[in-house]
Amino acid sequence: MSAFLEARSPTYGHWRLRVQAVALALILAGAPLRQADSRPLRLVALGDSLSAGLGLPPGQAFPDRLQASLRAKGWDVDVINAGVSGDTARDGLARYDWAVPPGADALIVEFGANDMLRGLPPEATKKALSAILDRARAARLAVLIAGMRAAPNLGADYGRDFDSIYLALAKAYDAELYPFFLEGVAADPKLNQKDGLHPNADGVDVIVDRMLPSVEALLRRVKP
């Protein structure tokens, strides 16, 4: 039919070529272009209370605010909250199979705060995170690692060993890396709840704004 119309109307053929050129330009530019009838991307935020949204009103947790920001930028994506307060990296590994649903496209791994606060050996944290990344790799999930930093009172040696976990894993697994989940928020009373550990709603928005470019890079890794 299109061949018949092109033969009868040169303007139709010219219009069709322009549409194809625009679509190709968007793809090459990395724009979040998806077919109108395709399902949304499924991005899972697997983590602890920082992902779960401890102490925050409904709809204000990190996954909720991230989904809203991504959609505002044109991404057709559902962000699934798989955060559980109090979880260590080992806890996250133990529940991976039921926390990350079949059909997920990408994964944010956010663990380490509770490991660090409990003084767990950095090598144990790294081992658990590595096992999580092994499972994600087997499922062909694009992964972003959200890092954590050790508190200064744990000592220089502990801090060096703990802080190095995330970059090493990102390199080993070719994963996106956001080095410090609480960047720009940690220790700021205006952006944290009264416990001084968990971000308030304003703090979550700062985290989302800062992490958004890394999350978009993650979603561009998702294969159709």
- Catalytic residue chosen out of the listed positions 49, 51, 105, 163: 49
In this prediction, residues 169-187 reach a mean pLDDT of 98
According to the model, what pLDDT value does residue 130 have? 98
Q: Which listed CATH number (3.40.50.300, 3.40.50.1110, 3.50.50.60, 3.90.480.10) goes with 35-220?
A: 3.40.50.1110
Whether residue 217 is predicted with pLDDT greater than 60 in this model: the reply is yes
Which comes out higher in pLDDT, residue 36 or 61?
Answer: 61
Which comes out higher in pLDDT, residue 113 or 4?
Answer: 113
Whether residue 76 is predicted with pLDDT greater than 80 in this model: the reply is yes
According to the model, what pLDDT value does residue 35 have? 44
- Catalytic residue chosen out of the listed positions 2, 37, 38, 195: 195
Spans of all domains in the chain: 1-31, 35-220
In this prediction, residues 89-115 reach a mean pLDDT of 97
Conformational region of residue 191, where left means phi above 0, alpha means psi within -120 to 50, and beta covers everything else: alpha
According to the model, what pLDDT value does residue 223 have? 77
In the residue annotation, 198 being an active-site residue is answered as: yes
Q: Which residues have C-beta within 8 Å of that of residue 189, sequence separation ≥ 6? A: 196
- Catalytic residue chosen out of the listed positions 51, 115, 198, 205: 198
Which comes out higher in pLDDT, residue 33 or 49?
Answer: 49
Name which of 11-15, 83-87, 117-121, 146-150 the model is least confident about: 11-15
Whether residue 154 is predicted with pLDDT greater than 80 in this model: the reply is yes
Whole-prediction pTM: 0.83
179-214 residue pLDDT tens: 999 999 999 999 999 999 999 999 999 999 999 999
Q: What mean pLDDT, rounded, does the chain reach?
A: 89
In the residue annotation, 195 being an active-site residue is answered as: yes
Rounded to 5°, angle at Cα 180 from 174 and 182: 145
Conformational region of residue 55, where left means phi above 0, alpha means psi within -120 to 50, and beta covers everything else: left
According to the model, what pLDDT value does residue 32 have? 53
